[in-house]
Chain A
Amino acid sequence: MNGDLFTLLAPELIVIGGAVLALLLGLGASPGARSAPRALALLSVFAAFLVTWYYGPSPAKPLELAGMRFDSLAYYIRLIALSVGALVLLVHWHLPHPAERGDVFAMILFSLAGIMLTSLANDLVLLFLTIELVSIPTYILVSIGRSDIRAQEAGLKYFFLGTLSAALLVYGFSFLYGAAGTTNLSRMQLSPAGGFVTIGLLLAFAGVAFKIAAAPFHVYAADVYQGAAAPVTGLLGFFPKVAGFVALIKLLFLMQPSDLLTAGWNMPGAAFVFLWVVAAATMTLGNVLGLMQTNVKRMLAYSSIAHSGYMLVALLAGPVASGGPLRDGLSAMLFYIVVYGIMNLGAFAVLALIQARGRPAEELDDLAGLGRREPLAALALAICVFSLMGLPPTAGFFAKVYVFSAAISNGAAGWHGLSLIVLAVIGLINSAIAAGYYLRIVATCYLREPVAEPIAEPRTAGIRLGLLGCCIAILVIGVWPGGLLYMSRLPFYDLSAPPAVATHSNAQSPEPAETTEQVYAKEMNS
């Protein structure tokens, strides 16, 4: 990972370049030019993935340059965003009207580039801008090409509330800037005791809570998810969430002392209480409201809210990792978000597949007898839903075990540790409640008689490929979670190393830097 900014940012530049080209090609008159954007989009995501992979995780001392920090967190987020992004593209393959293909695929790529840049942002201003770069294309995606009134309403609601949340976010940032006197995240040393820090954090958390659909900022989610096309909804469950959680991590890191790995999070009591209440309320509201639904998309929307709650639990548990297995909440969250993104996308991909075949897939009744009608689609849906439930041997199982075990085993002194255990218990109860509606989906597919026969067989190869990718990922991660787990633990090894601040050239530290793998290997041996 040598060289100047352009080399370092090559993955993002490739994705943005692909987006611009897709946008332009989409304007073309010939059918050939109009179908090019999707292949181009997939190609650029693939190329960006290869480049990121080739660069590898950061050295033990991450490079800081131009308001960005090239650390292992960024490496991990870039990789997972690109992998899930490729699946998202596949699921969108047949959705848009040819005239809108350019727009849709460009927007997905812009949003994707936003996530990657969010993971790099090391400056409050850049962090805000990148989060908005993730969000704004999603506002467009929700209502694009959908003439029915619900989609329009969803897009408008999403936009208005999103704007409000962006205002809260940037307002909170301005207080953090006021408290620290700098916007550079590495140089910000915030004391949790400061009044401005608490105000700034609470406002920023509120803004982020909207992005991750956490209570009470979750109210829009069900309406928007229901109104948007199924593939877009699958995207909404991942893109804004990743950006929001990355921002949360970065904000929480502003107040951390050097002994983070053993002492756990250091944050204002008010912020802890806020996140705790938000996590508990998010899980409970999401699942209880999920129980009420007869509309599958709304059901999954509430499940999406609930899953944000689980991830908040892991985040609150923090990166305490020594003294026992399955303790690192930060890596649990990073692990969970990928798994969630894939299983959620897979579930919506099934809905998209059914819709692409000319049948409605909105209400639970529309899925009746899917097991008989389309056995493979039903199996895929069952895999995704079982994973959402957290049943073995799917990826969701291990993700859930990891999250709750991190919270249970946090062991922080006093009320912190105890409240985390209570939170984990609330989460476990919620998992049981959630089983109620997840099972209804599977039961409807398998235990009820089909209403009608499938109508058409249009081309759905792209969706099916994307769905296959989701299912394989769920099962492979479920059976061999080690690989992804190793990756998700990379960022946490960065914590032990202070950043190497490079101004305008790539300053190499004089002593040979210890690679992350070496640090990792050391820990494993000890």
Chain B
Amino acid sequence: MPESLLFGFALAAFSPLIHRFARGATGWVMGALVAGLTVRFALYVPAITAGNPVRTCWAWVPPLGVNVSFYLDGLSLLFALLICGIGSLVAIYAGGSLRGHPQLGRFYLYLLAFMTSMLGVVLADNLLTLYVFWELTSLTSYLLIGFNHEDSRARQAALQALLVTVAGGLAMLAGFVLLGLAGGSFEISVLSGRGPALREHATYLPLLALILAGAFTKSAQFPFHFWLPNAMVAPTPVSAYLHSSTMVKAGVYLLARLSPVLADTAAWTAALSTVGAVTMVIGATLALLHTDLKRILAYTTISVLGGLTLLLGLGTSSAVVAAMALLVAHALYKAALFLVAGNVDHATGIRDVRQASGLARVMPITAAAAVLAAMSNAGVPASFGFISKELIYEAIWGLSARGLPLLAATFLANALLVTTAILVGVRPFFGRRTAMPHMPHETPIALWLGPLVLALGGLVLGLVPARTEPMLAAAATAVEGQPAHPHLALWPGFNVVLALSAVTVLGGIGLYLAWERVRRVVPLATITRFGADRGYDLTLEAMLRFGTLQTRVLQSGYLRFYLIIIILTVVSLAGWALLKGEGVVKLLAGRWPSIYEWIIAGLVPLAALLAILSQSRLTAVIALGTVGYGLALLYLLYGAPDLAMTQFAIETLTVVLFVLVVYRLPPLVRFANWPSRVRDAMVALAGGALMTGLLLAATARPGASSLSPFYAEHSLSDAYGRNVVNVILVDFRALDTLGEITVLTVAAIGVHALLRLLPGRKGPRL
């Protein structure tokens, strides 16, 4: 089974090359190869339905116990079959609909990479492996939505879909990490056995919330549903494949896969059934208000995804079976309807459902496929959609009084789905023909084969539902964690559920007849203004505003503002620590300075003030030198004569260097105005206050240093010198002195070089 992934990725990588040779037949070649993959998975069916799952595992990051592992059971096999089977039909379809597109080779690269990633999602047994493939599907979906990249709407929609799903994916990753820690393993098959303990775990709620965020964004659940209709700018094969039958089901798959681990708690049931029911109703309602064929289909897809979430949230045996049946039915009819919509667009240039009519005579095969798929969508008897709807009603009817609101929601959504089924699958093909942009014509075989096969598939499964029992049983078993025995019948007999079905269909037809009136009453523009799409826009906008503000405040580009930011931060940080640690009183109760210290303490600030206020650079430089000399004197007072000596030398050199540089500078210009000078003075005073405080705190402490006595004691005994300063300079700190001499020499060379640079003067050669 991992080899099928390798095969898929290799096929994707070579598809541009294959396209170069196959030319017009690329779609057929790709379709055949993917069909081969489908057969490969079909061969697993006997083993899996007999209850023998397959597992492979390699160590990926052995030190951390992270594996790459794959697991094939009923659930993953069901998905794999859908992914490959529909994939091969879509590959053929794309060959026809994108015929002659200059980037067709690249399209197949993305499409097959997506297909393989999707297979990876459903086959992965390790949570991190699953996440890797999950993000790959988001990424390939981004590339596919943005395939017509000249269109700015396509680029925006692609980015939106990616941002929403990647954000959800990251939340899911956090949830996976928590889950892995709580369960002690990243292997889903191991975690499945630890469900009861995990549901009691302290981190159950956070991890559930995070994982659900991932599943809900991917499967377009309310309020994250908005990206899916916008993604309809993608080429039709992409919409049919990714955004109805496979990728958007990844979230549902995840919920189903983790059901044995996480399901059957109050939180799980409440979250899934509420979100699912709301999504189901909102999706179906919005579908009715749109007129674009693909958007209608996108909203009905959202509705069905909500239904699937609801069913998995209920988690009863019959609900799980109903979910699996709905999954299959929907994948078949929705992909078919999307391809039909693509055919209508292809043949007539029309995407608005109001404009197309009477196409059945010119496009008989497409029309047949459309009607069959619409039957399944509407849940008319003899279609698989009918059987799945029976199962859903049965599951929810079994809930008794508690399920009444859910029953009402399901009924409403299903009735609306009937209406949309008629709108999309029937209305364009019957009635009087109207004027159209292109002369309508039947599409070539590559375009009608896919929808027809899918629609016929729905019919055949609907006629012999018992044949699907083993596969659905295997899938439901995997979801429930205990053997399931579904019973599917072509005709359930007359009962309440059948009556509900009948009323649903009638209600849907009634709604269809009133469609124009409903659309006129409900203002779509008002709804979109408060919709989640708007929320997404506002979030992005707010982020950009925040960024602009940041840029203005923090990134002015002026060095002085950067300095102010740094100084103020440090002052507040260290000042806080100082006051907290030492206290004001303790600071002021320090040692009283001596007269010499007072003199220096007077001299240094005065010199500094002079440096700031002076109008000439030379004065400022000399004043700065005085500050340095004052500091050197302080060193001398505190018993560091060697340091003082160095400081004197450095200060002298610095002044000389400064003077040389100043000589070449243009005259001093005063840039700052009064307010900014006051501000600068405040900042400087704050910095000075901090330094004073720190100094007071430091001097108030008994010195931990034993350096001075050490020198005095060891000067004679170790270094045979009575002059302690000399000994320090040439013996104890000989290397320092060497370094200082080097620095002074280098500085002197710099002075020399500057002297030679002076205009009109030739310095002596070295």
Contact = CB atoms under 8 A, between A and B. Distances in A.
Interface in A56-94: none
Contacts of A448: 149
Given A222-B555, A289-B551, A325 B543 contact: no
A289 B547 contact: yes
Nearest to B559: A157
B705 to A, nearest CB: 7
A471 B82 CA distance: 36
Interface string B116-153: 00000000000010011001100100100010010000
B56 interface: no
Given A270-B580, A325-B186, A443-B155, 14 more contacts: A156-B559, A171-B694, A175-B698, A178-B698, A181-B705, A196-B581, A199-B581, A199-B694, A285-B550, A289-B554, A292-B548, A326-B180, A391-B139, A431-B170
A325 B65 contact: yes
A429 B168 CA distance: 9
A198 to B, nearest CB: 5
Contacts of A431: 170
Interface string A158-175: 001100110010010001
24 contacts: A160-B563, A165-B566, A194-B581, A195-B578, A199-B581, A203-B574, A216-B569, A270-B577, A285-B554, A289-B547, A292-B548, A326-B177, A326-B180, A392-B131, A401-B173, A401-B177, A409-B178, A424-B174, A428-B173, A439-B142, A443-B155, A447-B149, A481-B61, A485-B64
Contact of B184 (A199, A285, A324, A421): A324
B242 to A, nearest CB: 18
- Nearest first, the 3 closest Cβ-Cβ pairs linking A and B are A195-B581, A181-B704, A447-B149
B63 interface: yes
Given A398-B61, A482-B62, A219 B555 contact: yes
Interface in A200-216: 202-203, 206, 210, 216
Interface in A333-355: none
A53 interface: no
Contacts of B705: 181
A202 B551 contact: no
A105 interface: no
B163 interface: yes
Nearest to B154: A447
B546 interface: yes
A448 B155 CA distance: 11
B555 A199 contact: no
Contacts of A139: none
B543 A219 contact: no
A405 interface: yes
Interface residues of A, number: 71
B346 to A, nearest CB: 24
Given A216-B565, A285-B554, A393-B132, A432 B63 contact: no
A194 to B, nearest CB: 8
Interface in A210-237: 210, 216-217, 219-220, 222-223
Given A198-B581, A206-B570, A447 B155 contact: yes
B178 A291 contact: no
B665 interface: no
Nearest to B554: A219
Nearest to A432: B167
A446 B566 CA distance: 40
Contacts of A165: 566
Contacts of A203: 570, 573-574
Contacts of A168: 570
A164 B63 CA distance: 42
Contacts of A489: 63
A156 B559 CA distance: 9
Name, among B131, B142, B167, B547, the residue most crowded by chain A CB atoms within 10 Å (CB to CB).
Answer: B547
Could you say which of A171, A206, A219, A485 has the most chain B C-beta atoms within 10 Å of its C-beta?
A: A219
B124 to A, nearest CB: 12
B132 A432 contact: no
B174 A435 contact: no
Contacts of A220: 562
B187 to A, nearest CB: 12
Count chain A CB atoms within 10 A of each CB in B149, B170, B561, B697 and give the residue with the most. B170
A397 interface: yes
A21 interface: no
B216 to A, nearest CB: 15
Interface in A290-307: 291-292
A425 interface: yes
Interface string A398-423: 10011011001101000000000100
Given A195-B582, A409-B177, A486-B63, A202 B574 contact: yes
A223 B173 contact: no
Q: How large is the interface on B (under 10, 10 to 19, 20 to 34, 35 or more residues)?
A: 35 or more
A161 B566 contact: yes
Interface string B567-609: 0011001101110111000000000000000000000000000
Given A219-B555, A274-B573, A326 B64 contact: yes
B159 interface: yes
B659 interface: no
A270 B575 CA distance: 12
Contacts of A29: none
A404 B174 contact: yes
Tell me the interface secondary structure of chain B in the complex: helix
A198 B547 CA distance: 33
A222 to B, nearest CB: 6
Given A202-B573, A404-B174, A392 B132 contact: yes
A411 B181 CA distance: 10
Interface string B693-705: 0100110010011
Nearest to A290: B547
A96 interface: no
Nearest to A485: B63
B240 to A, nearest CB: 23
Nearest to B586: A195
Contacts of A98: none
B523 interface: no
Interface in B161-185: 162-163, 166-167, 170-171, 173-174, 177-178, 180-181, 184
B66 interface: yes
Contacts of A157: 559, 562
Contacts of A411: 181
A203 B577 CA distance: 10
Contact of A195 (B543, B562, B580): B580
Contacts of A326: 64, 66, 177, 180
Give the most central of B63, B135, B546, B698: most A CB within 10 Å: B63
The residue in A168, A206, A324, A429 that gathers the most chain B C-beta atoms within 10 A of its C-beta is A324
Which of B60, B163, B581 is the most central at the interface, judged by chain A CB atoms within 10 Å of its CB?
B581
Contact of B163 (A409, A428, A435): A435
Contacts of B578: 195, 199
B546 A325 contact: no
A462 interface: no
Nearest to B159: A439
A292 B541 CA distance: 11
Contacts of B181: 324, 408-409, 411
Contacts of B128: 401
B10 to A, nearest CB: 15
B166 to A, nearest CB: 5
A217 B580 CA distance: 24
A436 B209 CA distance: 24
B146 A443 contact: yes
B613 to A, nearest CB: 22
A126 interface: no
Contacts of B550: 285, 288-289
B544 interface: yes
Contacts of B694: 171, 175, 199
Contacts of A291: 543-544, 547
A392 B72 CA distance: 23
A393 B120 CA distance: 13
